[in-house]
Structure 1
Amino acid sequence: MSTPPANQPPARPRTFRHQRILRIQLDAYDRAIEVLADTVRQKHWPITAAIGIANGGLAPARGISELLHIPSYHVNAKHNPSDAPYTEATGTVTYDLSPLTTRPATSSLGGTVLVVDDICGTGATFATLLPELTAYLGPDVALRTVALCRNTGSVFDPDLWIWTVDDWVWFPWEPTLAAEITIEDLPILSRVRTA
């Protein structure tokens, strides 16, 4: 895993109201993927590939790429010391581009490529990875960022996202939540927020 340059500005903490866990039910998630794919077609087409940021960005990247009929790749990045609710980010993003760089087809990627994550919490993951991906993929590649959620504490706005959140978010691929936790389901939305 690599770390970002020392001159990267510190990320602002995410906003957590500590009132409830915001849950994305499967039907809301499926609709979000459809809306994101439709918006990508309208605003950023043609797209040549999607790159999911593991772990959280893998499912949305695959879902969007299937609807757009484009290849999907991934990179690894870690910003939280654990997946426990309300864990604050470390401020340092570690990453590994080798899953992307070992795929021969990615060296020929051109055009516009989506970089997809589940949430833009502070913005540090996108801010760290974008220059690294640009350097690897080449100066002619345009990167567009996509997230399901953007935390109100983020200093970075993805190009496209669905929900703006102010508390911890639970995604459909995560372990079941404990029964004693207060849960609020995020609504099914049919519009995308843009930077």
Structure 2
Amino acid sequence: MNSQAPQQSPVQPRQFRRQRILRIQLDTYSRAIELLADAARRRYSPITATIGIANGGLAPAQGVSELLHVPTYRINAKHNPTDATYSEATGVVTYDLNPLTSELAGHRLDGTVLIVDDICGTGATFTTLLPELTAYLGPEVALRTVALCRNAGGTLDPDLWIWTVDDWVSFPWEQPPAADAPIEDLPIPSQVQTP
């Protein structure tokens, strides 16, 4: 069994202005997935697989995989103590690699693999998981991190992302948050951001 005890990472507080909830509408989300897939194809080809960090990274990983015609794998990880709005990350990342190892059934990934999450808040989830994946990778694998959003307070930049945000984000697959703050839609993107 690959279920792991929590891993403590140094935590950099995320930036929340607490002025509004940033919402990603479905058409905006679809455009973001197209841009991420295209950027990954142009920069890192050939892409051989995506790994979605569930729960939030699974939908974008599947969307990118569909456009690139590659398989999606899943790993489970949790960084926030709750799903409550403005919940601060603790630096403790719990994870379970069993969904990935079951699907691989002893095989190793090769080529360029995209590790996908919905948001890179502090960077602790990516930082914790990347070294844990090496046992499931071939010798020449390149791992690239991809996120829809990057929090402005974080210190880690993914390899590719769309929006830099400074408030709580509501994603299309989530229930709208129960918050008194106004809703502001993120704009339809025109480009991918890189470090």
Q: Normalising by structure 2, what TM-score?
A: 0.94
Query: Residues 106, 46 of structure 1: CA spacing in aligned structure 2 closer, same or farther, 3 A cutoff?
Result: farther
User: 1:73 aligns to what?
Assistant: 73
C-alpha contact 1:11 1:155 (8 A) present in aligned 2: no
Post-superposition shift, 1:138?
Answer: 3.8
Post-superposition shift, 1:10?
Answer: 0.8
User: 1:2 aligns to what?
Assistant: 4
Query: Residues 59, 190 of structure 1: CA spacing in aligned structure 2 closer, same or farther, 3 A cutoff?
Result: same
Deviates further, 155-164 or 169-178: 169-178
Which residue identity lines up with residue 175 of structure 1 in the other structure?
Q
Instruction: Please say if 1:147 is aligned against 2:147.
Output: yes
Post-superposition shift, 1:106?
Answer: 7.0
Q: What is the identity percentage for the equivalent residue pairs of Structure 1 and Structure 2?
A: 72
Deviates further, 97-106 or 76-85: 97-106
CA distance in 1, matches of 2:5, 2:155: 20
SS of match in other structure, 2:18: coil
Alignment gaps of 5+ in structure 2 = none
CA distance in 2, matches of 1:2, 1:105: 19
Partner deviation per Cα, 1:35-72 (whole Å, 9 max, x = no partner): 00111111011011000000000000000000000000
Post-superposition shift, 1:164?
Answer: 0.1
User: 1:83 aligns to what?
Assistant: 83
Post-superposition shift, 1:28?
Answer: 0.5
Query: Residues 4, 95 of structure 1: CA spacing in aligned structure 2 closer, same or farther, 3 A cutoff?
Result: same
CA distance in 2, matches of 1:67, 1:131: 27
Which residue identity lines up with residue 144 of structure 1 in the other structure?
R
User: 2:35 aligns to what?
Assistant: 35
**Correspondences of 1:1-195 after superposition (within 5 Å):** 1-3=3-5, 9-104=9-104, 107-178=107-178, 180-195=180-195
Which residue identity lines up with residue 5 of structure 2 in the other structure?
T
CA distance in 1, matches of 2:109, 2:180: 47
Post-superposition shift, 1:2?
Answer: 1.4
SS of match in other structure, 1:2: strand
CA distance in 1, matches of 2:57, 2:107: 21
C-alpha contact 2:19 2:181 (8 A) present in aligned 1: no
Query: Residues 107, 193 of structure 1: CA spacing in aligned structure 2 closer, same or farther, 3 A cutoff?
Result: same
CA RMSD in angstroms comes to 1.6
SS of match in other structure, 1:174: coil
**How many residues matched?**
193
Which residue identity lines up with residue 81 of structure 1 in the other structure?
P
Alignment gaps of 5+ in structure 1 = none
Query: Residues 109, 173 of structure 1: CA spacing in aligned structure 2 closer, same or farther, 3 A cutoff?
Result: same
